[in-house]
Chain A
């Protein structure tokens, strides 16, 4: 394949990664923004989403679409409820102290991981996509005979991957609308901006925290359900999403929706492209280097605001 079509393929791969990463990182960013909690277990909620998706899909049976849709609804819900329990049993009792919550969520990371190992086992298992049609992609060339469109051999994607990208965009838009236009969003933003004043205006901050922590985990689980027909579910699959989400959140600026999404696209795309052309390891090295540079020169993140 020529460079052009090859690049198109890499961009598409990158876009799928970026879509899933944007959702995952948004959850981490939301939790940090509103609660000032660094959720080290965030990747495990992602893993939980994938593993639950497998359980749901296999126990329901029938057409893959039925299992997938059920997983799409149930996995984020269950992961969210687990997160609410974590908030009530671990984060609230330590009064959301920054250091204590890091240690606490490290504990949660291992508990979830080992529970998955004990119940789901060490195997990687796939979830069948609800649909997957090969879609040949056209390429354009400006040659001797003028403009020409053709389908290069091997240049194809599948409909499910396009669905993942579309679904992520829809979810991100919905999330943005909720945060900016709804009462619930107003309450979350008020809590994020000034917890004490929020309380003084009747906002039940501790309930908001539980919901936000659940929502953050739910977003990670949702991202995992979307990706699990492409990547298999595995009890250790939470590591990469956690690392990449941290990278995204640092580059994008903590607590900023726009920054998180833009940084996810930047990191997800470059991860996809560099992985295709060079190597996945190199792409992680570059991303981590970028984080170091951002931390040195723009600690508030590329799109974050300077702390007052």
Chain B
């Protein structure tokens, strides 16, 4: 569904990704793993059109999206949950949700469905995002992205710093989306979580794409984790 074809990108003169390729299918969870600074978040930003490509192309269902202006990319149905959540902190929960809804012109029906998934947000609609607990903030970041009714969902380390019950909630959400046929790229560092949820795992090292394997292959054999994540 979403395909990165040998993309090269970076920040100004600093190149971070080198001929990086990746493909995720509908109804699949692809985990992207690599060390700190390997370029995982950079790949997410590149998909969102936030970084200019110096080579390669990104396409969605065969249609190139890397030539679109950045604000058109999410409108194609790509929901993004950035690392560190990046909520609009001075806005209320309701306003953050509203921005998600506006992206693709979704209305009350979508809003209700999303809020049903996160009842704690419904109780806090008028609270400013910055005053939410870490777990609630992650719920809001997730809810905001789901308001697009996305075809593709990008989650960049969504469980960073969360307690087990919250991690469980995020996991259930991801599984629900997978069942609904959404293509999911999940950046995740915890091996146990990856083994539980991923269909496939892609490794990235210093900006280069390495092995992409089925999760089954990793269960008994942890050498790839050792090699690329260092545990």
A183, A193, A200, A206: the one within 8 Å of B90 (CB): A193
Chain B residues lying within 8 Å of A205, measured Cβ to Cβ, are 70-71
Q: What is the bound-complex CA distance between A244 and B116, given in angstroms? A: 51
Q: Which of A183, A189, A194, A201 contacts B103 (CB 8 A)?
A: A201
- Cα A183 to Cα B90 in complex, Å, equals 16
The answer on a CB contact under 8 Å between B74 and A200 is: yes
Interface residues of A in 192-213 (CB under 8 A from B): 193-194, 196-206
**Which residues on A sit within 8 Å (CB–CB) of B70?**
199-200, 205
B79-113 interface mask toward A, CB cutoff 8 Å, 1 = contact, 0 = none? 01010001011110001001110111000000000
For residue A190, CB closer than 8 A to chain B, the reply is: yes
Q: What is the CB-to-nearest-CB distance from B52 to chain A, in angstroms, rounded to a whole number?
A: 12
**Number of A residues with CB within 8 Å of any CB on chain B:** 18
- In this complex, which of A201, A202, A204 has the most chain B Cβ atoms within 10 angstroms of its Cβ? A201
Partner of A201, one of B45, B89, B144: B144
When chains A and B are docked, how far (Å) is the Cα of A301 from the Cα of B69?
36
Contact of A186 among B73, B89, B99 (CB under 8 A): B99
Partner of B104, one of A187, A194, A200, A202: A202
Assess whether A196 is in contact with B50, with CB atoms less than 8 Å apart: yes
Q: A189 and B102: CB pair below 8 A?
A: no
A228 to B70, CA, bound (A): 43
Question: A200 touching B91 by the CB < 8 A rule?
Answer: no
Contact partners of B190 in chain A: CB under 8 A? none
CB-CB < 8 A to B48: which residues of A? 199-200
Choose one: B69, B72, B82; the contact of A197 (CB below 8 Å): B82
In A143-202, the 8 Å CB interface with B consists of: 183, 186-187, 189-190, 193-194, 196-202
Residue of chain A at shortest CB distance from B147? A201
How many Å lie between the Cα of A172 and that of B78 in the bound state? 38
Please, how many angstroms separate the alpha-carbon atoms of A204 and B71 in the complex? 5
Q: Do residues A186 and B50 form an inter-chain contact, with CB atoms below 8 A?
A: no
Contacts of B88 in A (CB 8 A): 189-190, 193-194, 197
State A197–B100 Cα separation when bound (angstroms): 11
Q: Check A202 against B75 for contact (C-beta < 8 Å).
A: yes
A196 to B51, CA, bound (A): 10
State in angstroms the CA–CA spacing of A204 and B73 once bound together: 11
Q: Which of B126-177 contact A (CB under 8 A)?
A: 144
B49 beta carbon closer than 8 Å to chain A: yes
- Cβ–Cβ < 8 Å partners of A206 in chain B: 69
Contact of B74 with A189 in the complex, beta carbons under 8 Å: no
Within 11-65 of A, Cβ neighbours of B (below 8 Å) are at none
Question: Complex formed: what's the CA distance from A197 to B75 in Å?
Answer: 14
| B138 to A: closest C-beta gap in Å | 15
A268-282: CB near B (< 8 Å → 1, else 0) gives: 000000000000000
Instruction: Give chain A residues whose Cβ lies under 8 Å from the Cβ of B50.
Output: 196, 199-200
Given contact pairs A193-B91, A200-B82, a sample of 9 additional A-B residue pairs in the complex whose CB atoms are under 8 Å apart: A186-B102, A190-B88, A193-B89, A193-B90, A196-B45, A201-B99, A202-B75, A202-B104, A203-B71
A-B pairs, top 10 by smallest CB distance, nearest first, are A202-B103, A199-B70, A197-B86, A204-B71, A202-B74, A200-B80, A201-B103, A193-B88, A200-B48, A202-B75
Please name 11 pairs of A and B residues whose Cβ atoms are closer than 8 Å in the assembled complex, sorted by A.
Answer: A189-B90, A190-B88, A190-B91, A193-B91, A194-B88, A199-B70, A200-B73, A200-B80, A201-B99, A202-B104, A204-B71
